[in-house]
């Protein structure tokens, strides 16, 4: 599935083309140096918890996976059967047998939902905690957006080691950017499928392949291009004088052994790579583990296409669920075996759920009012089921939780004050989390 360009029902491509890296060495260096400058300015003491977001773009059918309704009428429940899990009394879809065996390691919030059922708006809601304001544009140059969770984390906590604090795999989501936080909080985008046999990170691999003498020549070229800038820096402000230092660090990042190692998925044992699954989702999960292990604070895995308006059950059974089952289950097991689960929060979600009633194309349409999210690690109690939807999964039947609550929960776990405010370039204060957001305490019981 990784080699085919996918679109959602709105006709928009979900192969997001935004990346902070440039095609040239100078472009790459400028982008990396911007990140490094932000790290130096924004890094503050925090805890050791990282975040992995597995975003199932298009909208996972949670009524067919985490929140089956076997007693609902046929036109709602669908053909999938529930199976027992490793937690007594908790059931899951029969097509997720590996995850059923890992249920003791993650939690599901079943009383989750929000008011948006359209791509773009709902994506932004889930990845930022904020419902877009009037004039929102979900295209490649959006306005009125808020920073994604990963950008907030990068801005507040900075880097751990030589790797960037926030990375998107394999591509960036339109709502995964830094908004008014600027380039210093923007993600480093891999822009390559880790499942490919010749996988390499475009912004890192070319310089690393260049002969040392040629690389030195390019460094000298950069110095020549900057000579007028240097004169200006010496004459004007102290902040500008730091730019060259960050560019130097960018060169070091591109040639650092730690960075090369973090992105070198080929060094993983074949047996483990097979267990994750030799597909985009599985290998992205493995890459996320490697990056977190190397010090990355947030990894956003952007995986499409879960927009199952047609033949929902055939597509889930034959094309999608086995990818999720292998990738997520192995990631949980791998993190646990390495002693990393306590300090790695995992969120698995789409932008919304799917309609409880099956449509005439044997599919399910968009449904924001009720969905379910899966979370693990970072202090979350495994095997927990939080809340419930009603008998047809149409809406929450218990205390409802919203994207703002999810944001508060994430930042609470990472040691970031959710009540803190940012200032936009216009000087307008905006809280990191909307004022109605609260931590989902049941996850930590």
Residue 56 forms part of a structural domain: yes
pTM for the model stands at: 0.84
- The CATH number that applies at residue 379 is 3.40.720.10
Residues in Cβ contact with 135 at an 8 Å cutoff, skipping those fewer than 6 apart: 143, 144
Rounded CA gap, 323 and 318, in Å?
10
Per DSSP, the chain holds a count of helices (H) and strands (E) of: 16, 14
Sign, CA dihedral 144-149-154-157, equals positive
Rounded CA gap, 199 and 286, in Å?
13
Note the pLDDT of residue 260.
81
Closest CA to 84 of 72, 75, 93: 93
Rounded CA gap, 241 and 222, in Å?
16
Residue 264 forms part of a structural domain: yes
Residue 369 forms part of a structural domain: yes
Sign, CA dihedral 270-276-279-285, equals negative
Note the pLDDT of residue 47.
74
Residue 382 forms part of a structural domain: yes
Note the pLDDT of residue 9.
79
Note the pLDDT of residue 41.
41
Residue with tokens 């006709």: 11
Residue 59 forms part of a structural domain: yes
Residue 388 forms part of a structural domain: yes
Q: Which helix (H) or strand (E) holds 256?
A: none
Number of separate domains in the chain: 1
Residue 135 forms part of a structural domain: yes
* Bridge partners, residue 304, by sequence: 57
Q: Which range marks the domain in which residue 406 is found?
A: 46-200+258-444
Note the pLDDT of residue 390.
98
pLDDT tens for the 445 residues of the chain, in order: 444 445 667 655 444 333 333 323 333 333 445 544 544 444 444 579 999 999 999 999 999 999 999 999 999 999 999 999 999 999 999 999 999 999 999 999 999 999 999 999 999 999 999 998 766 665 544 456 899 999 999 999 999 988 999 999 999 999 999 999 998 899 999 999 999 999 998 877 544 444 545 545 555 555 555 554 455 444 444 444 444 444 554 555 556 678 888 999 999 999 999 999 999 999 999 999 999 999 999 999 999 999 999 999 999 999 999 999 999 999 999 999 999 999 999 999 999 999 999 999 999 999 999 999 999 999 999 999 999 999 999 999 999 999 999 999 999 999 999 999 999 888 999 999 999 999 999 999 8
Residue 80 forms part of a structural domain: yes
Under 8 Å between Cβ of 141 and 178: no
Note the pLDDT of residue 162.
86
Rounded CA gap, 185 and 178, in Å?
6
What DSSP designation does 168 have?
Answer: E
SS3 call for 29: helix
Closest CA to 251 of 162, 351, 325: 162
Closest CA to 258 of 160, 354, 167: 160
Phi and psi torsions of 4, nearest 5°? -110, 130
Closest CA to 251 of 229, 218, 286: 218
401 Cα distance to chain centroid: 20
């Amino acid at each position: 599935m990784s080699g085919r360009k996918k679109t959602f029902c709105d006709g928009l491509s979900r192969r997001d083309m935004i990346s902070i890296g440039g095609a040239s060495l100078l472009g790459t260096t400028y982008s990396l140096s911007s990140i490094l400058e932000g790290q130096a300015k924004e890094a503050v003491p925090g805890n050791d918890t990282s975040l992995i977001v597995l975003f199932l773009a298009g909208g996972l059918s949670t009524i067919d996976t985490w929140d089956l309704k076997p007693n609902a009428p046929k036109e709602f429940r669908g053909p999938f059967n529930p199976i027992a899990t490793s937690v007594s009394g908790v059931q899951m879809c029969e097509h997720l047998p590996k995850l059923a065996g890992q249920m003791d390691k993650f939690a599901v919030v079943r009383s989750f939902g929000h008011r948006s059922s359209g791509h773009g708006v709902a994506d932004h809601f889930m990845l930022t905690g904020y419902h877009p304001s009037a004039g929102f544009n979900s295209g490649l140059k959006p306005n009125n957006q808020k920073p994604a969770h990963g950008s907030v984390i990068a801005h507040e906590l900075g880097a751990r080691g030589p790797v960037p604090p926030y990375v998107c795999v394999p591509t960036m989501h339109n709502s995964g950017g830094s908004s008014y936080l600027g380039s210093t909080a923007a993600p480093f985008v891999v822009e390559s499928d880790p499942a490919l046999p010749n996988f390499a990170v475009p912004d890192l691999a070319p310089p690393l392949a260049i002969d040392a003498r040629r690389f030195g020549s390019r460094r000298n070229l950069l110095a020549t291009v900057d000579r007028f800038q240097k004169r200006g820096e010496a004459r004007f402000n102290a902040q500008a004088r730091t730019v060259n230092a960050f560019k130097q660090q960018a060169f070091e990042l591109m040639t650092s052994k730690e960075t090369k190692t973090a992105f070198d998925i080929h060094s993983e044992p074949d047996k483990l790579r097979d267990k994750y699954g030799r597909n985009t989702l599985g290998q992205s999960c493995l890459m996320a583990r490697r990056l977190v292990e190397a010090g990355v604070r947030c990894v956003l895995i952007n995986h499409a296409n879960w927009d199952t308006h047609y033949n929902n059950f055939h597509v889930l059974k034959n094309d999608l669920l086995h990818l999720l089952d292998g990738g997520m289950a192995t990631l949980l097991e791998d993190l646990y075996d390495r002693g990393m689960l306590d300090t790695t929060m995992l969120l698995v979600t789409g932008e919304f759920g799917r309609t409880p009633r099956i449509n005439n194309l044997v599919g399910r349409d968009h449904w924001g009012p009720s969905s379910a999210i899966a979370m693990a690690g970072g202090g979350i109690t495994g095997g927990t089921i939080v809340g419930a939807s009603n008998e047809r999964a149409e809406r929450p039947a218990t205390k409802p939780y919203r994207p703002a609550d999810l944001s508060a929960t994430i930042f609470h776990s990472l040691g970031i004050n959710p009540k803190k405010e940012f200032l936009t370039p216009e000087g307008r204060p905006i809280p990191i989390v909307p004022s109605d957001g609260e931590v989902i305490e049941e996850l930590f019981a």
